[in-house]
A and B are shown apart, each in its own frame.
Chain A
Amino acid sequence: DARVTQTPRHKVTEMGQEVTMRCQPILGHNTVFWYRQTMMQGLELLAYFRNRAPLDDSGMPKDRFSAEMPDATLATLKIQPSEPRDSAVYFCASGLPINKNYGYTFGSGTRLTVV
């Protein structure tokens, strides 16, 4: 089965350090989402891309978060500087537009702990 691959699976870092999370979407998928999941806030949409162009990143704290798709096989989410409140599981999902063939597939997530 085709999978969305996220790396790393786990990351522990000190406050103030830069964190980069990577996502390899399924080949052929043109839509990529980044979500953050915490106990308190649940699943929050951070950003999403279509055909590598950012459509909405209003859910991201702009001063420290950035999301990019340098090419169709890689999406990145960076936090600089990281803070303890950024501790969460970050999910990437990819798919095609729903009216074409719904298939948003989620990766297994990156569990980030900022100490």
Chain B
Amino acid sequence: AQSVTQLDSQVPVFEEAPVELRCNYSSSVSVYLFWYVQYPNQGLQLLLKYLSGSTLVKGINGFEAEFNKSQTSFHLRKPSVHISDTAEYFCAVSDLGGYQKVTFGTGTKLQVIP
């Protein structure tokens, strides 16, 4: 079984400042990793994913994440945030096997301050 830990429930950051949202996972097997964003009263939208290959993954809206196998981490970063990035961000993990059940973390609310 897999699990995901997002240690920060809320992250306030000033507009145009950089941000890092932390995600650590636990699994006994190789995994796929994802970041999703949820805007108020909406469903989840895929930001980026790591399946294999380069450990630095670029996604939509200027976000990127780096897979670190030794630290079992998949932190999300953006060099300069905008007001429109205010949302909740979920890290998720899935096993590579047949079922590929996706398990989500508890989410991090990013609040961009003008």
A binds B: yes
Chain A residues close to B by CB (< 8 Å): 4, 31, 33, 35, 42-43, 45, 48, 50, 55-56, 91, 93, 97-99, 102-109
**Minimum Cβ distance to chain B for residue A69 (Å):** 16
A9's nearest neighbour on chain B, judged by CB, is B41
A6 to B68, CA, bound (A): 36
**Minimum Cβ distance to chain B for residue A107 (Å):** 5
Q: Is B55 an interface residue (CB 8 A)?
A: no
- A-B contact sample (13 more), CB < 8 A, given A4-B43, A45-B101, A98-B96: A42-B106, A43-B90, A43-B104, A50-B99, A55-B99, A56-B99, A91-B44, A102-B32, A104-B102, A105-B46, A108-B41, A108-B42, A109-B42
A45 to B96, CA, bound (A): 18
Q: Is the CB of B106 within 8 A of A102?
A: no
Q: Is B100 an interface residue (CB 8 A)?
A: yes
A41's nearest neighbour on chain B, judged by CB, is B106
Q: Is the CB of B44 within 8 A of A106?
A: yes
Chain B residues close to A by CB (< 8 Å): 32, 36, 41-46, 49, 51, 90, 94, 96, 99-107
Chain B residues with CB under 8 Å of A98's CB are 32, 51, 94, 96, 100
**Minimum Cβ distance to chain B for residue A44 (Å):** 9
Chain A residues with CB under 8 Å of B103's CB are 45
Chain A residues with CB under 8 Å of B94's CB are 98
A50 to B105, CA, bound (A): 23
Chain B residues with CB under 8 Å of A97's CB are 100
B104's nearest neighbour on chain A, judged by CB, is A43
Q: B101's contact among A48, A102, A105, A106, by CB below 8 Å, is which?
A: A48
A97's nearest neighbour on chain B, judged by CB, is B100
Q: Is the CB of B102 within 8 A of A106?
A: no
Most buried by A among B46, B94, B107: B46
Q: Is the CB of A104 within 8 A of B104?
A: no
A108 to B45, CA, bound (A): 10
Most buried by A among B32, B42, B44: B44
Chain A residues with CB under 8 Å of B101's CB are 45, 48, 55-56
